[in-house]
C-alpha cells in the first residue's frame, strides 16, 4: 500500500466558506469519494455527508461517482487539493420520485370522483348543470383515469424495486421544481380538461370506442416495453453501485433511449383515449426534456465506451430506415 497523501481542503466558493471544514485530509490509495465526504462530515461536526460536493481543482468538475478512488483523480493528486461545496439539505432519489409521482395519482383520483361536482360548477359557470346533475364520467374518462393512475403507480413500483441510482441524493429545494411538472402538468392540468363535462374525452361514439381500444393497445405495449427496458438498465449496475455499462437488447439497437421511445408510445395511447390538447401539450414538454436527457446519455456512452458502444443516430424516435433495419434484424 502506498503511503498516505495529504490533500488541502478548500471551499469551492471562497465567499461561502463551510464552518468547521478541516483545512486538510489524508487519503490512501483505497480512499473513495464517499470516504472523503464521510470524513469531512464527521470532522465538520456531524453534517450529512451527502451535502458535500467534491470538485477537482483544475477544471472544478464535480466528482459524481461516490465509489471512485481519489487516487485515480489525476488533477486532485497533482494539485494535492480538493474543493468542497455545500450542496444544501438533501433528499434521497427514492424519496424524490415517490413525492413527484404521488401527485398525479392523488389528483387523478380526487378530480373525477370527489372534486368534479364542485370544480366545474365554480370554474365553468356557463355549463347547463348543477353540482348534483353533472353527467356521469364517460367510458373514455374512466379509462383515462385508470391508465394515467396505473402509469404513475408503475413508476412508484420501479422507484422502489427496479431503479438503481448512481447519485444517492438530490438538493431538497429541487423537489419543488421537479414536482411542478408532475403535480401541475400531468396532474391538475390533465385532470381538469380530461374530466370536464363536454370535453372530447366525454364523447361516446363508435369512433371514440375504436380510439379507446387502439389507445389501450398502444398504452399496454408502451408500458410493458418501458418496464422491460428499465429492468435491462437496472441490471447494468450492482445494488448500491455506481458503475455504468453498455445497454443492449430489446430496443437498444434502434435508439439510444428506448425507455423514452416506449414512454412516448404509451402516452400516444393516452392521447387517443383522452383526445385532449392538454395531453398533447404534456407530451411535447415531456419529449423536449427527454430529448435533452437522451442527447446527454448518447454523449456519455460514446465518451465512456468509445470501442464497446455502437453509436446511435437517433436518440428517441427512429428514422424509417433505422426501423426497417432493426425489424429485419440488421441492427442489434
208-211 contacts at long range (C-beta below 8 A, 24 or more positions apart): 208/140, 208/275, 209/139, 211/140, 211/272, 211/273, 211/275
Average pLDDT over residues 226-251: 92
Question: Nearest 5°: CA angle at 247, between 306 and 35?
Answer: 80
Structural domain includes residue 332: no
- Write out pLDDT tens, residues 177-227: 889 889 999 999 999 999 998 899 999 999 999 999 999 999 999 999 999
Structural domain includes residue 170: yes
Per-residue pLDDT, 17: 87
Average pLDDT over residues 110-137: 75
Per-residue pLDDT, 10: 94
Grid cell for residue 21: 471544514
CATH for 285? 1.20.120
Local structure of residue 317 (DSSP, 8 states):
S
Residue 182 and residue 274 share a domain: yes
Of 88, 108, 125, the residue that ends a domain is 88
- Write out pLDDT tens, residues 53-77: 999 999 999 998 899 999 999 999 9
Residue 314 and residue 165 share a domain: yes
Per-residue pLDDT, 53: 94
Q: Count H helices, E strands: the chain? A: 11, 6
Residue 157 and residue 24 share a domain: no
List the one residue out of 148, 237, 245, 251 whose CA is nearest residue 192: 148
Residue 28 and residue 137 share a domain: no
Q: 124 falls in which pLDDT band (50, 70, 90)?
A: low
Residue 238 and residue 175 share a domain: yes
What is the Cα–Cα distance from 247 to 251, expressed in whole angstroms? 10
Structural domain includes residue 38: yes
Q: 16 falls in which pLDDT band (50, 70, 90)?
A: confident
CATH for 31? 3.10.20.90
24, 65, 67, 72 from 33: Cα distances, Å: 15, 7, 6, 11
Residue 148 and residue 200 share a domain: yes
Torsions phi, psi for 259 (to 5 deg): -60, -35
Q: 127 falls in which pLDDT band (50, 70, 90)?
A: low
Q: Which residue segment(s) compose the domain that 21 sits in?
A: 5-88
Of 88, 105, 134, the residue that ends a domain is 88
Asked whether the CA dihedral 246, 252, 253, 255 is positive or negative, the reply is negative
What is the Cα–Cα distance from 310 to 300, expressed in whole angstroms? 12
SS3 labels along 101-151: HHHHHHHHHHHHHHHHHHHHHHHCCCCCCCCCCCCCCCHHHHHHHHHHHHH
Residue 177 and residue 122 share a domain: yes
Grid cell for residue 142: 374512466
Grid cell for residue 257: 433511449
List the one residue out of 269, 273, 239, 255 whose CA is nearest residue 318: 255
Q: Is the separation of the CB atoms in 307 and 235 below 8 Å? A: no
Per-residue pLDDT, 325: 79
Is a pLDDT exceeding 60 seen at residue 256?
A: yes
Is a pLDDT exceeding 80 seen at residue 121?
A: no
Q: What total number of domains does the chain contain?
A: 2
Per-residue pLDDT, 321: 81
Is a pLDDT exceeding 80 seen at residue 146?
A: yes
Per-residue pLDDT, 133: 65
Residue 141 and residue 49 share a domain: no
DSSP string, 248-270: -STTTTT-S-HHHHHHHHHHHHH
Structural domain includes residue 103: yes
3-state secondary structure (DSSP) of residue 315:
coil
Residue 196 and residue 170 share a domain: yes
- Write out pLDDT tens, residues 82-112: 999 999 999 999 999 999 999 999 999 999 9
Percent of the residues in the chain that have a pLDDT greater than 90, as a whole number:
74
Where do runs of H (alpha helix) occur along 165-205?
174-179, 190-194
Of 70, 88, 106, the residue that ends a domain is 88
Residue 176 and residue 71 share a domain: no
Residue 128 and residue 53 share a domain: no
Residue 117 and residue 24 share a domain: no
Q: Helices 139-161 and 206-234 sit at what angle, rounded to 10 degrees?
A: 0
Radius of gyration (C-alpha) of the chain in whole angstroms: 25
Structural domain includes residue 23: yes
Amino acid at each position: 500500500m502506498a503511503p498516505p497523501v495529504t490533500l488541502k481542503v478548500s471551499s469551492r466558493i471562497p465567499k461561502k466558506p463551510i464552518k468547521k471544514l478541516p483545512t486538510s485530509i489524508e487519503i490512501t490509495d483505497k480512499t473513495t469519494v464517499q470516504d472523503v465526504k464521510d470524513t469531512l462530515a464527521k470532522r465538520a461536526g456531524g453534517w450529512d455527508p451527502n451535502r458535500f460536493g467534491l470538485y477537482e481543482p483544475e477544471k472544478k468538475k464535480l466528482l459524481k461517482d461516490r465509489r471512485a478512488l481519489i487516487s485515480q483523480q489525476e488533477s486532485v493528486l497533482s494539485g494535492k487539493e480538493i474543493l468542497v461545496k455545500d450542496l444544501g439539505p438533501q433528499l434521497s432519489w427514492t424519496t424524490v420520485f415517490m413525492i413527484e409521482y404521488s401527485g398525479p395519482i392523488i389528483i387523478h383520483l380526487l378530480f373525477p370522483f370527489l372534486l368534479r361536482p364542485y370544480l366545474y360548477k365554480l370554474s365553468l359557470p356557463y355549463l347547463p348543470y348543477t353540482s348534483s346533475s353533472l353527467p356521469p364520467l364517460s367510458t373514455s374518462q374512466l379509462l383515462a383515469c385508470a391508465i394515467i393512475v396505473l402509469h404513475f403507480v408503475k413508476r412508484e413500483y420501479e422507484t422502489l424495486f427496479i431503479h438503481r441510482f448512481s447519485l444517492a441524493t438530490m438538493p431538497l429545494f429541487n423537489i419543488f421544481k421537479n414536482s411542478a411538472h408532475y403535480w401541475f402538468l400531468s396532474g391538475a392540468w390533465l385532470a381538469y380538461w380530461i374530466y370536464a363535462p363536454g370535453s372530447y374525452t366525454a364523447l361516446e361514439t363508435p369512433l371514440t370506442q375504436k380510439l379507446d381500444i387502439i389507445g389501450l393497445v398502444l398504452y399496454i405495449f408502451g408500458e410493458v416495453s418501458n418496464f422491460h427496458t428499465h429492468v435491462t438498465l437496472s441490471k447494468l449496475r450492482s445494488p448500491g453501485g455506481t458503475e455504468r455499462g453498455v445497454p443492449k437488447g430489446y430496443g437498444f439497437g434502434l435508439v439510444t433511449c428506448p425507455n423514452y421511445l416506449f414512454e412516448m408510445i404509451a402516452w400516444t395511447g393516452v392521447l387517443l383515449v383522452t383526445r385532449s390538447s392538454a395531453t398533447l401539450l404534456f407530451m411535447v414538454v415531456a419529449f423536449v426534456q427527454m430529448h435533452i436527457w437522451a442527447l446527454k446519455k448518447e454523449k456519455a456512452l460514446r465518451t465512456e465506451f468509445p470501442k464497446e458502444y455502437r453509436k446511435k443516430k437517433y436518440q428517441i424516435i427512429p428514422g424509417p430506415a433505422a426501423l426497417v433495419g432493426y425489424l429485419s434484424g440488421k441492427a442489434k
